[in-house]
């Protein structure tokens, strides 16, 4: 797969103190890569100065695009809207809180092409102990019930083929199952170890209990989806 244009799709919910630095980091990395790019911020109904920060930045850089929701609709909704509006053939997602490190992208891109999706694995995760334990259990249960071997499906830093991604309809919570959903579309998926950083500014938007409850419910839907997925190969046709 030859890349023509990368779309960075970045959900933003009350991240005003992180936007500028994130923009600088992504731009720094993008300038070292031989591809055209856009940075698509999806403001998920922030009620702080996030949108304003984005609008100030775009005055000096036409790589910046944004969508702003009227209300907070959640990370899945923000990602889904971003995928819909992204104009690149390659989509790179990451969080806007600086926990992901854009400097991992060049290494991840080495696997892209041979693989249709390259997903980050935060092997040295900088989150609270309770979050790390919850994530270990979550990934274990998810792998067991979906027949996967992904260590860290919650890592937002992902590189994906836009044509495959755009076929997927994402419902609330389903962004956590993107490797599985992409596989259903025929994608080859590779997990690559990435850096992870502590959140310095702003707050985490999730509690463990909420994530566990919703996650289990979503898991049942994904299991159903895997079983009921329509998959056929055409032997012959005249259309």
Interface residues toward Mg ion, by CB under 5 A: 95, 97, 99
Is 204 an interacting residue with respect to ligand UDP (CB under 6 A)? yes
99 binds ligand UDP (CB under 6 A): yes
Residues 209-228 that bind ligand UDP (CB under 6 A): none
Task: Specify whether the CB–CB gap between 29 and 109 falls below 8 A.
Answer: no
The window from 11-19, 28-36, 114-122, 165-173 that contacts ligand UDP (CB under 6 A) reads: 11-19
User: Among 9-17, 159-167, 180-188, 218-226, which window interacts with ligand UDP (CB under 6 A)?
Assistant: 9-17
Residue nearer to ligand UDP on the CB measure, 79 or 182: 79
Check residue 206 for interaction with ligand UDP (CB under 6 A). Answer: yes
Tokens matching residue 68: 């702003």
x/- map, 48-87, ligand UDP, by CB under 6 A: ------------------------x-xx--x---------
Provide the token pair at 205.
């938007």
How many other CB atoms are there within 10 angstroms of residue 237's CB atom? 5
Helix, strand, or coil (residue 191): strand
| Cβ neighbours of 103 (radius 10 Å) | 14
CB 104 within 8 A of CB 157: yes
Which residues are bridge partners to 37 per DSSP?
6
Q: Is 31 exposed, middle or buried (0-12, 13-18, 19+ CB in 10 A)?
A: exposed
Sole residue written with tokens 């991604």: 165
Contact between 12 and ligand UDP (CB under 6 A)?
yes
**Footprint of ligand UDP on residues 14-33 (CB under 6 A)?**
15
* Spatial strand order in the sheet of 36-43: 64-68, 36-43, 5-12, 90-93, 158-161, 117-121, 189-193
**Partner that binds at residue 74, options Mg ion, ligand UDP, none, CB closer than 5 to 8 Å by kind:** ligand UDP
144 is in the binding site of which of Mg ion, ligand UDP, none (Cβ under 5 to 8 A by kind)? none
Which does residue 11 touch among Mg ion, ligand UDP, none (CB within 5 to 8 A, set by kind)?
A: ligand UDP
Choose between 172 and 197: whose C-beta lies nearer to Mg ion: 197
- Interaction between residue 205 and ligand UDP (CB under 6 A): yes
**11 is an interface residue for ligand UDP by CB under 6 A:** yes
Angle between helices 208-228 and 129-146 (to 10 degrees): 10
For residue 220, the minimal CB distance to ligand UDP (Å) is 22
As a whole number of angstroms, the distance between CA 121 and CA 136 comes to 12
CB 52 within 8 A of CB 15: no
Give the three-state DSSP class for 201.
Answer: coil
Q: Please report, as ranges, the residues that interact with ligand UDP according to CB under 6 A.
A: 11-13, 15, 44, 72, 74-75, 78, 95-97, 99, 204-206
């Amino acid at each position: 797969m030859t890349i023509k244009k990368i779309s960075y799709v970045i959900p933003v919910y009350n991240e005003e103190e992180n936007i500028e630095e994130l923009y600088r980091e992504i731009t720094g990395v993008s300038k070292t890569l031989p591809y055209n790019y856009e940075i698509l911020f999806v403001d998920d109904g922030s009620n702080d100065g996030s949108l304003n920060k984005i609008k100030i930045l775009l005055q000096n850089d036409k790589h910046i695009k944004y969508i702003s929701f009227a209300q907070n609709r959640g990370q899945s909704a923000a990602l889904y809207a971003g995928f819909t509006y992204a104009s690149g053939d390659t989509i790179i997602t990451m969080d806007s809180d600086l926990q992901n490190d854009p400097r991992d992208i060049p290494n991840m891109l080495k696997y892209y092409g041979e693989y249709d999706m390259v997903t980050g694995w935060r092997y040295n995760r900088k989150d609270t102990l309770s979050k790390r334990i919850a994530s270990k259990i979550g990934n274990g249960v998810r792998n067991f019930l979906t027949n996967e071997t992904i260590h860290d499906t919650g890592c937002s830093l992902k590189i994906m083929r836009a044509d495959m991604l755009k076929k997927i309809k994402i419902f609330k919570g389903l962004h956590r199952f993107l490797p599985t959903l992409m596989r259903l579309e025929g994608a080859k998926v590779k997990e690559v170890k990435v850096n992870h950083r502590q959140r310095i500014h702003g707050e985490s938007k999730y509690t463990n209990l909420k994530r566990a409850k919703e996650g289990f419910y979503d898991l049942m839907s994904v299991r159903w989806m895997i079983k009921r997925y329509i998959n056929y190969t055409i032997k012959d046709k005249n259309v």
